[in-house]
Amino acid sequence: MKVSVRVRGEWFAVPCGNGSENIGWLAEVAVKKYYKLKPHSFIDKVEKVEEIRKTKGGVLLDNDDLIRSVLDDNDFVSVVLQSDWSDPKLATPEITYVPEQVRKGYEEPSEFIVLDGNSLSCEDLVLLGKGKIKIKLSNDSIGRVKKARQMLEEIVQENKVVYGITTGFGKFARVVIPKDDLIELQENLIRSHSAGVGAPLSPERTRTLLALRINVLAKGFSGISLKTLNQYIDAFNCSCLPWVPEKGTVGASGDLAPLAHLALGMMGEGKMWSPECGWGEAKYVLESHGLSPIKLGPKEGLSLINGTQFITALGVEAVERADAIARQADVVAALTLEVLKGTCKAFNSDIHNARPHEGQILVAERFRSLLHSDTFPSEIAESHRFCDRVQDAYTIRCCPQVHGVVNDTIKFVRRLLTVEMNSATDNPMVVADKGEIISAGNFHGEYPAKALDYLAIGVHELANISERRIERLINPASSELPAFLTSKGGLNSGFMIAHCTAAALVSENKGLCHPSSVDTLSTSAGTEDHVSMGGWSARKALKIVEHVEFVVAIELLAACQAIEFLRPLKTTKPLEAVYDLVRGVVKPWTKDRFMAPDIEAARKLLQEERLWRVVKPFMEIYREQQPFETYVLSPTTSLHSSAPGIKRRKRNKRASEASV
């Protein structure tokens, strides 16, 4: 029996025989190994063990328990020494990694997706990133990979001069490398290019990056060996994820630094994470899962790092999260309209047919399905039917036009990223069917960089307009509700600073919306003289989406709080369902309280798309029960001496076919 023990970030394999010794003995042996192998690290004496825990799940172990009673063969444990608790320099985050870095209740997926390099969708990539499914290669991909590799090996045998295979890289492209040095050439490439800085990607994002690189290699244009590709797949399926810093790519020639860090871990160098053991030395983590570090052949180092997968992986997360918040921003805005006693007439299909942008029509239909209608009447809407208001502010009235273009932007970006996900972005490319190896520029990240700058500008507008609606909700001059949505203003401040938070995030977003891809710098001594800066495009797009989630969450809380002042009147069934969902996690404010956790709770509802799931059935009911559009009575009916009868007209075909 063998147990792997971690002491101050270092792993030690401890043979345990038949497991008849106790846990205290295991910790003592591991600590002795630590001081033997790292005598200069800390103090001269062996310290007392404070505690020992199982890595997976963080279970605290009793020193007197027998090893075989509480641990399995090849299990992982972590030892914390007494001084680690008292000395902040020793108490590194890694020592307490169990609850933070190893997900409790991790279950290895049983389902597989077959990758062929041509048909991966954004939705499937998100599932791969979350560790929900494993990877297999299609038979066609296996054949293409083998064919390309065979051709490349023939070139090596014939001593032909081909960039990246038998030459140096970048400025050194004219330096021919002796055949005996070709493997060292590739290893040096990975080590030298592993020069990123900053915080590491999360396990989910690293998993996404790894899956995307596998998919691109499966196209068979890179000349990678099937063995190396299978080793990447095996590591993915075990969630063995290298340390990949988030900063360092200029987006041409591809995302060299992050992909080099990915390859470095697969070579058994640097750090690596897995659900079984958290962060550890890459070689040890691989071996503990029965995997071997990869051994690079000719061109394989270049094949592993040349491409736009970092930009695209983060971009896919950004576009999927943007899509989720865009749908739910429509729901939140409809709730705000309701509590501000706005009119539904601005969402009349005739208006949107006259300007038939797909997103605009879609958003208007969503509003109609949520607001006052024959299907879902609203007491709040009925209460102000005969008011003297003619029209609402732009932030209410123009939601289909403003939210609509965001939907269209997201659709455009998703389509472009889907193409990029399934594209060969290596250089040189092995065109095995024609027996050619061609140097070209598919590695350039301009496509995803431009798309993600566009996404950032588009999705930011959801927060921009949401913040203005929050201001209307808390301003009694606009809302006719208590100032800052608190009943005892002065004693309580209500939503005063929550609005400031929204304003701060919107202001920060405006700076982040500056397009990264308009910049370029010459690199590699002028050889690579135009770059995309797409890595920053992707990272800031994600940051903007995160800010939008928070701003819309604040609007959601404010709109639900506004309902408290309109009771006992009820809104429509779908919006009451939204209110009930929120109140399940955030209670009403009767006086001031710590607000940050409530904002985070509302944001979590949006991130998990629970708001969308709760209203979607109502939207479907509306569509089924409203074969014709209902022209609901609105505040403008006060212009008539009596309420007009409800008119019905045939619904716009485009709107009826659009997905809610």
279 beta partners: 273
According to DSSP, the β-strands at 278-281 and 429-431 are unpaired
The encoded tokens of residue 326 equal 């865009």
d(CA 513, CA 545): 11
Contacts of range 587-596, beta carbons closer than 8 Å, 24 or more positions apart: 588/560, 588/561, 588/564, 589/485, 589/486, 589/492, 589/494, 589/561, 589/564, 590/487, 591/486, 591/488, 591/491, 591/492, 592/486, 592/492, 592/493, 592/494, 595/497, 595/498
Write out 327-390 in H/E/C secondary structure. Answer: HHHHHHHHHHHHHCCCCCHHHCHHHHHCCCCHHHHHHHHHHHHHCCCCCCCCHHHHHCCCCCCC
The encoded tokens of residue 597 equal 């956790």
d(CA 353, CA 481): 35
Sole residue written with tokens 């020793």: 90
Q: What is the sign of the dihedral through the CA atoms of 335, 340, 341 and 344? A: negative
- Taking CA atoms, 501 is separated from 184, 460, 482, 530, 543, in Å, by 53, 15, 20, 38, 15
The encoded tokens of residue 24 equal 């205290």
The candidate with the shortest Cα–Cα distance to 70, out of 61, 82, 81, is 61
112 beta partners: 134
- CA–chain centroid gap for 380, Å, is 38
Q: 121: which DSSP letter?
A: -
Q: What is the sign of the dihedral through the CA atoms of 356, 359, 363 and 366? A: positive
CA angle 50, 43, 25 (to 5 degrees): 40
d(CA 77, CA 280): 12
d(CA 313, CA 211): 9
According to DSSP, the β-strands at 197-200 and 436-438 are unpaired
d(CA 323, CA 58): 36
3-state secondary structure of 98: helix
The candidate with the shortest Cα–Cα distance to 229, out of 237, 217, 241, is 217
Q: Is 232 a catalytic residue?
A: no
d(CA 396, CA 336): 8
242 beta partners: 272
d(CA 403, CA 393): 15
Residue of 35, 97, 106, 163 marked active site = 163
Q: In 94-225, which ranges are continuous DSSP H helix?
A: 97-101, 122-129, 139-157, 182-193, 203-217
Q: Are 248 and 195 in contact (CB under 8 A)?
A: yes
Q: Residues with catalytic annotation?
A: 163
